[in-house]
Amino acid sequence: MSVNIIQALNKTLHEQFEKNDKLISFGEDCGYFGGVFRVTEGLQEKFGKDRCFDTPLCEQGIVGFAIGAAQKGLRPICEIQFADYIFPAYDQIVNELAKMRYRTGGQYTAPVIIRAPYGGGIHGGHYHSQSPEAQFLHTPGLHVVVVSSPYDAKGLLISAIRSNDPVLFLEPKRIYRAVKEDVPDEDYEIPLGAADIAREGKDLTLIGWGAQHHQNLQAASELADEGIDVEVLNLRSLNPLDIEAIKTSVQKTQRAVVAHEAPKTQGFGAEIAALVMEKCFLYLKAPVRRCCGLDTPFPHTLEPEYLPDAGKVKRAAVETMDY
């Protein structure tokens, strides 16, 4: 059945709640209202207020409560209404949640999922458009997943639910309803740490994740008309990272461009560029290029100038080919 990302996530939550009575979901407006984007719609009505409920406007409390619930045998799926709101919970996430397994010598785990809509494209301005993934990728013990399609959303969410480690589950709100595809009714898992080669090519590797992946696909399609054969790699999981998929692709194409919405300086693209240099230096015909958001707060009226759209990605690829 063809569904969008919101529908895929909602249906998956309903199915998994039926199968596992340890699952609970909570956050600001997540209960009766079903979430500001309606991802948790119907959960409270079907499973009751003990398993899906609203919380105060306190992100630190949301994550702190999730940590405690996980220690008591539950498997919390909490929602941060916008990823931009996650920073009051930063201490709980990086100092408590991510370190639980390590600090207890493996005696306790922290099977917590933190869902958060992220990224631009909805004219939300600087408090509703940020991409904070890099600020959590410096934290050992925390998985970071970014979905880009309904099919991936279901498979990655099921894998996250069955993981005993905490997962920051980022959902690109720009394409929540814009991307539709067939999603199987049966359960399936997409392993955390498995990238997807969405388009095979021989001239250049284009690496991205989330909503940016669709800009990369568009750029690759347009470049094909100009005789440039681009391989498009959708990472899906940023930690664990599929280093072998990156290495194999870049060694084949001998050129790489990394594109992401977050600011360029110390964005995750810099880490990928460094990894490519370490693993593929002798194969490269050109320096690894980054096509990213600007080193400014996310603008409201100038959003199109900020986002690395297909045209900007295409120019970065051409410049890399012309090096």
The SS3 of residue 221 is helix
Annotated active-site residue 300? The verdict is no
CA distance 248 to 226: 25
133-140 long-range Cβ contacts below 8 angstroms, 24+ apart: 133/168, 133/170, 133/238, 133/262, 133/268, 134/262, 134/266, 134/267, 134/268, 134/271, 135/90, 136/93, 136/94, 136/168, 137/238, 137/239, 137/268, 137/271, 139/93, 139/94, 139/98, 140/98, 140/102
* Separation between Cα atoms, residue 160 and residue 152, nearest integer Å: 12
253/269 Cα distance (integer angstroms): 18
Q: Please, how many CA atoms are within 13 Å of residue 107, restricted to the half-sphere of its CB?
A: 3
Annotated catalytic residue: which of 14, 123, 126, 128?
128
Distance between CA 84 and CA 270 in Å, rounded? 22
Helices (H), the chain: 5-19, 43-47, 59-71, 90-91, 100-103, 134-137, 150-161, 212-224, 243-253, 268-280, 303-306, 310-321
Residue 21 contacts by C-beta under 8 Å, 6 or more apart in sequence?
51
CB 143 within 8 A of CB 165: yes
Residue type, 206: L
End-to-end CA distance of the chain: 45
Q: What is the CA radius of gyration of the chain?
A: 19
Just list the catalytic residues: 128
